[in-house]
Chain A
Amino acid sequence: MPTMVAAAMESPVWGQKLSSVVPAKVTGDNKDFELTNMDLAMKLHYIKGVYFFQSEAVQDLSVRDLKEPMFQWLEFSFTTSGRIRRSETGRPFIKCNDGGVRIVEANCDKTIDEWLATNDNHQSPDHLLAYNQVLGPDLGFSPLVFVQLTWFKCGGMSVGLSWAHILGDAFSASAFINMLGQIMAGQIPSKSFQVHNPKKSESPNPSIPGKPFSLKKVDPVGDCWITANNRKMETHCFHVTAKQLHHIESTTYQPSQIDNISCFEILSAIIWQSLSKIREDSGPRIVTICTNDYLKMRENEMPTNGMTLSTVEADFSVSKGEIVELAKLIAEKRMPENGLIEELLQGNEEGSDFIVYGANLTFVDLEEANLYGLKLKGKKPVFVNYTINGVGDEGTVLILPGPEKEGGKGKIVTMTLPEYQIEKLKNILENDWNIA
């Protein structure tokens, strides 16, 4: 559609052109790909990943240079080109019909540096750089993946991946987009992809029979897979530098107490405590933790939802406890619920809809994700941010690896919380911890 000048005044991203890219070879026989119960549990969520590249990485790269390798790329994980269909029982599955991936080409009036420097109080503008994806209402004809290529004034470019969570988790999404960079550089994966068969609940702790706490039932969504929030949600992201991390670690606990506590647990504990300080009910008492315990290597595998969902219940007052105690609780006392989720969804005959992220306050550990593995012309992105759409009212926090800087990598924290909580939380984090 012709670009409207008036719109450019309001939105810095303009001129969107949509097209499709399909696998180079016919997938054949319209294979039907079955979805696991874990996949179905995540169906109302969407992952967005934005990768920023400076102009040296994308100089002389035209749209055609970027699109041509995509055809070969899509041959490998062919489920991403499929579409959702329902079986006779109403259970969704993926029909691998080569519908393809939607590509969006757009332009932006700012430079990359200007964009990254915009740390404003409003909703993170990164959402403009990845298409707002929702499966449905035309469920059978909605692409599962969008890739948005936005050119900036300085010659840099952003690659925005919109990924339906039903396909796989953030680790799978990241491995998928990294493969594009590999194919562009001429490194074609040699073997065909393995489908990961989920092992039945591998929880070392005997799982308590009953309902999982990490799942929440929502009103039926029918064929339009997005749930409405009762509160206005906002997303805010900030960088915790390696120096700040080190300072936090040294001030919160003795070296002897460290043991197996990672940055993820520390940061999650800090945010949990800060939130409970600002909330009237001093809650939440239960949080959901999402970690990648079993499937480290996602290269050369079909996308899958392989992360472990656990809940942690605090039996003491979170706002008054010690950070290290809270972090230990998260690290050691979390109860994996994948088995319970499987059971619940197996017996879900009435086809109820659930959400996971935001059912409780959710912390997602993406520290080990190879987010900076997407290389164009051998150059890494200068910044990568991931967010989750379709988050419930309790909110979600993602802990991501930070960009390479002198002194180390640091972490990126991306929070999606009710609007009224974000401002207060930022104040506490700045005052108490000197972050955000």
Chain B
Amino acid sequence: MPPVLPDFSNSVKLKYVKLGYQYLVNHVLMLMLIPVMAAILIEVLRLGPEEINLLNSLHFDLVQILCSCFFIIFIATVYFMSKPRSIYLVDYACYKPPVTCRVPFATFMEHSRLNLSSNPRSVEFQMRILERSGLGEETCLPPAIHYIPPTQTMETARVEAEIVIFSAMDSLFKKTGLKPKDIDILIVNCSLFSPTPSLSAMVINKYKLRSNVKSFNLSGMGCSAGLISIDLARDLLQVHPNSNAVVVSTEIITPNYYKGNERAMLLSNCLFRMGGAAILLSNHRSERWRAKYHLVHVVRTHKGADDKAYRCVFEEEDKEGKVGISLSKDLMAIAGEALKSNITTIGPLVLPASEQLLFLLTLIGRKIFNPKWKPYIPDFKQAFEHFCIHAGGRAVIDELQKNLQLSAEHVEASRMTLHRFGNTSSSSLWYEMSYIEAKGRMKRGDRIWQIAFGSGFKCNSAVWKCNRTIKTPTDGPWADCIDRYPVHIPEIVKL
């Protein structure tokens, strides 16, 4: 039909214009260099070979030559010394819960009805949340939560911690060939379970780590603590040369299953599931060849100065004295604000020049000409090949997909991780990376953006670059089910 064709040709034209613009701006330096090189070449050809006798024409003597050499060597040394060390992610291992921990929807709902028998409205609420949650039928809860009522004691919490952490660490040792004695730095993050001695002490005791290991235990820092741990590891690895750092990210569910009726607090019961990951980072130059990724940027944004953001994820007692984590209604709005803040910082670091220029121009335009212009949202798809958005819940992923204008394939890793494993808090980013690898999509040079949100309210990002094309792994949490994915997740699952 005649009306359609012009539209089509218009959009094609627009696409080529856009591509042309991007190429031009991103390679402007190279493009400027070409005429310069051409000019020099023409000059050289014109002058002829006899006149090219630079050494003679410059009239240097020995002292000047030596000084110049030393100067060059000095500059080079200063440059190499002050360059930050490269941080390599050698490998990581995610915990795969056994089938004995599996919790289908029907079982979860039944247990809820029995545990909350005095308040059927809370049960109805949980059912509605579960139907729309985006979780699948294979997510897992620790053994203590399978009891009616759950057997929440210090002992059962420790049992869960041991199962998850030791399993992930054993997996990591096997994959990387790392010996426990070679661990120089150990960082464990688990937000809601913080016993004494700490979980990092538990790891040191189990694996008999060295007495001068630098251990840290981060608690209370929410779902974004995984990237905080990575940031801490990076800073430590700058100071300590030739070191290995192991980061363990997990969330222990057993002590935190909410037993009351408050709706804002019941939400976390529906979404949080068992999971954990152990990551090996190193600054050894020799790891350059076998490391999977290297760390490019970590950007941390904290909105805690704002009272509303501070209180939006708050652990407190309900009217009956039962402790739970209350999620406020403005969570999504605050998350959006935190994301904007984070993007503003990370944008200039990662976006190609073309996008930055457009953003700058629109910003100037809005300030000077017309504030009603739509703000230009930079196209982050130009900066990254893969996105790992913390699988905090379906709403979070939907919101980010909308804000960053991502396609379904970009958020596939996040959605499928939410479906298969639930919200495993700080370790979910690693399950997502594992998904991308399992699908064979991780190629050398790919850039990955990990975004996590957490209580506080924090938005943390990490940017990794893939060091070598990764073959589809035969082990790992997705090995037995990757062929079934991606699955279509219905809007509402009928229970």
Contacts and interface: CB of A to CB of B under 8 A. Distances in A.
Interface in B82-125: 99-100, 102-107, 109-111, 113-114
Contact of B106 (A17, A67, A98, A138): A98
A98 B104 contact: yes
A192 interface: no
A229 B149 CA distance: 33
B130 to A, nearest CB: 13
Contacts of A143: 110
B149 A97 contact: no
Given A1-B149, A26-B137, A98-B137, A20 B111 contact: yes
A26 B494 CA distance: 16
Interface in B449-495: 494-495
Nearest to A18: B148
Given A19-B148, A141-B110, A97 B495 contact: yes
A27 to B, nearest CB: 9
A100 interface: yes
A263 interface: no
Contacts of A99: 104, 106-107, 110
B100 A67 contact: yes
Contact of B147 (A18, A22, A68, A83): A18
B385 interface: no
B366 interface: no
A214 B110 CA distance: 36
B480 to A, nearest CB: 10
B138 interface: yes
22 contacts: A1-B149, A18-B114, A18-B148, A19-B147, A20-B110, A24-B99, A24-B102, A25-B99, A26-B137, A71-B100, A83-B106, A97-B104, A97-B495, A98-B104, A99-B104, A99-B106, A99-B110, A100-B106, A100-B107, A138-B113, A141-B109, A141-B113
A97 B494 CA distance: 11
Contact of A71 (B99, B105, B110, B111): B99
A141 B105 CA distance: 12
Interface residues of B, number: 22
Given A22-B102, A24-B102, A97-B495, A17 B147 contact: yes
Nearest to A138: B113
Contacts of B104: 22, 26, 97-100
Contacts of B158: none
B443 interface: no
Nearest to B123: A141
Contact of B107 (A1, A20, A24, A68): A20
B100 A98 contact: no
Given A20-B148, A30-B494, A97-B104, 5 more contacts: A17-B147, A18-B114, A18-B147, A19-B148, A98-B104
B102 to A, nearest CB: 6
B344 to A, nearest CB: 43
A138 B113 CA distance: 10
B146 interface: yes
Interface of A: 1, 17-20, 22, 24-26, 30, 67-68, 71, 83, 97-100, 138, 141, 143
A68 B100 contact: yes
Contacts of B109: 141
A97 B151 CA distance: 25
Nearest to A72: B99
A18 B107 CA distance: 13
Interface of B: 99-100, 102-107, 109-111, 113-114, 137-138, 146-149, 151, 494-495
A146 to B, nearest CB: 12
Given A97-B106, A98-B107, A26 B138 contact: yes
Contact of A19 (B102, B138, B146, B494): B146
A67 B137 CA distance: 20
Contacts of A97: 104-106, 495
Contacts of B111: 20
Nearest to A95: B106
A148 B114 CA distance: 18
Nearest to B146: A19
A141 B113 CA distance: 8
B466 to A, nearest CB: 33
Contacts of A20: 107, 110-111, 146, 148
A235 to B, nearest CB: 28
A342 B107 CA distance: 33
A383 to B, nearest CB: 30
B195 to A, nearest CB: 23
A46 B239 CA distance: 70
B420 to A, nearest CB: 11
Contacts of B151: 17
A20 B114 CA distance: 12
A178 B494 CA distance: 34
A25 B146 CA distance: 17
A71 B114 CA distance: 22
A83 B494 CA distance: 14
A1 B147 CA distance: 10
A22 B148 contact: no
A19 B107 CA distance: 10
A71 B100 CA distance: 6
Nearest to B484: A26
B113 A22 contact: no
Contacts of A83: 106
Contacts of B138: 26
Nearest to B148: A18
A24 B102 CA distance: 7
A287 B86 CA distance: 87
Contacts of B103: 22
A402 to B, nearest CB: 36
Nearest to A69: B100
Closest 3 CB pairs of A and B: A99-B106, A98-B104, A97-B106
A97 B104 CA distance: 8
Q: Which of B104, B111, B494, B495 has the most CB atoms of chain A within a 10 A radius of its CB?
A: B104
B443 to A, nearest CB: 32
A185 B262 CA distance: 46
B114 to A, nearest CB: 8
A18 B100 CA distance: 16
A187 to B, nearest CB: 19
Nearest to B137: A26
Nearest to B110: A141
Q: Which of A17, A20, A26, A99 has the most CB atoms of chain B within a 10 A radius of its CB?
A: A20
A17 B495 CA distance: 26
A22 B98 CA distance: 12
Contacts of A30: 494
A22 B149 contact: no
Nearest to B136: A26
Nearest to A63: B143
Contacts of A18: 114, 147-148
Contacts of B494: 30
A141 B116 CA distance: 14
A24 B481 CA distance: 14
B136 to A, nearest CB: 8
Contacts of A17: 147, 151
Contacts of B99: 24-25, 71
Contacts of B102: 22, 24, 71
Contacts of A98: 104, 106-107, 137
A26 B105 CA distance: 11
Q: Which of A100, A138, A143 has the most CB atoms of chain B within a 10 A radius of its CB?
A: A100
A258 B109 CA distance: 57
